[in-house]
Every structure is written in C-alpha cells, then in structure tokens.
Amino acid sequence: MASISECTFIAIKPDGVQRGLVGEIIKRFEQKGFKLLAMKFMLASEDLLREHYIDLQDQPFYAGLVTYMHSGPLVAMVWEGLNVVKTSRVMLGETNPADSKPGTIRGDFCVQVGKNIIHGSDSVESAETEINLWFTPEELVGYTSCAHQWIYE
C-alpha cells in the first residue's frame, strides 16, 4: 500500500484556466484512477512562484515565467496513486508541446512551450517539496475511494 500513497503536485497554469481546460484536465486524472487530495483555485503570489521555480532562477526565462504564472488564476492540486509522478508526467506530455504525442494534455491542447498549460512534479522528491510549498497538511484530505478496489489489485 505504501507505493499507492505516492503523491504529486499538478498545477493548471493561467493559460489552461483562461482556455477553459480545467474540467478536461481533472477528468483525465480521475479517469486514470488517481485520487484528488487537495485543490486550490488561486492567484499565486510572486513570492510563492519565485520559490516554486527557484531551481530555474539562473535561466534567462525565469522572470518571464514568474510574470506569466502570476498573470491570472491557476489551479493547484495534489493527486495520489500508484506511480502517480511518473504516470502524470507521461499524461502531461513533453515540456515543448511540439514534442508531445497526441493523447497527452500538451499534445492535444498546446502549441508553444511558453504556453504549455500545466505543471507536474518531475520526481517524488520534488513533489513532496512542491506539495509542502503550496498546501498545509490540514488542506490534504485523506479518504478511501470506493473505486479503490476496482483500480488496484
């Protein structure tokens, strides 16, 4: 059961919200069988975004990325499931939508890397860091899904 409790952080970026893709993206995660533990619809502060993207601070696009992520509301979420970090990265597609396969979120809905509509943790360790940055422990809702027995052996 420990491997099933792996969690990841997913954020629908401002362009995904503005384009009305929130429901479609959540639907894909639910249909896959992952369990939603937390969700916030919010305008993230610049300080939060700078901290979230701290590993990119030396990149020339860093300031623009923070500005873009602060340009409108986003949806921050925590999802749980077996291999959820790896599987969700496959579901998202490549960072550059031009390299993403049809059927992935970016492959179906994106054209340029600067407007790639979604963020997903790239490792279990970064997921833990990102979840703790965006959510308090009290905001994570643990429960047993009635579908659990139909998804996992």
Do the Cβ atoms of 118 and 41 come closer than 8 Å? no
106 annotated ligand binder: yes
Q: How far apart are CA 97 and CA 74, in angstroms?
A: 19
> What's the farthest any 2 CA atoms get from each other in the chain?
47
Please check if 34 is assigned to a binding site.
Answer: no
Task: Tell whether 89 is in a known binding site.
Answer: yes
Angstrom distance (rounded) from CA 147 to CA 85: 20
Burial of 94 (0-12, 13-18, 19+ CB in 10 A): middle
Comparing CA positions, the residue from 41, 36, 115 lying closest to residue 73 is 41
* Sheet hosting strand 7-12, strand order edge to edge: 35-42, 74-80, 7-12, 118-120
> Is residue 70 among the annotated active site residues?
no
Q: Which of 52, 70, 119, 148 is catalytic?
A: 119
95 is in an annotated binding site: yes
**Residue numbers belonging to the annotated binding site for ATP:** 13, 61, 89, 95, 106, 116
**Residue numbers belonging to the annotated binding site:** 13, 61, 89, 95, 106, 116
Which residues are catalytic, by number? 119
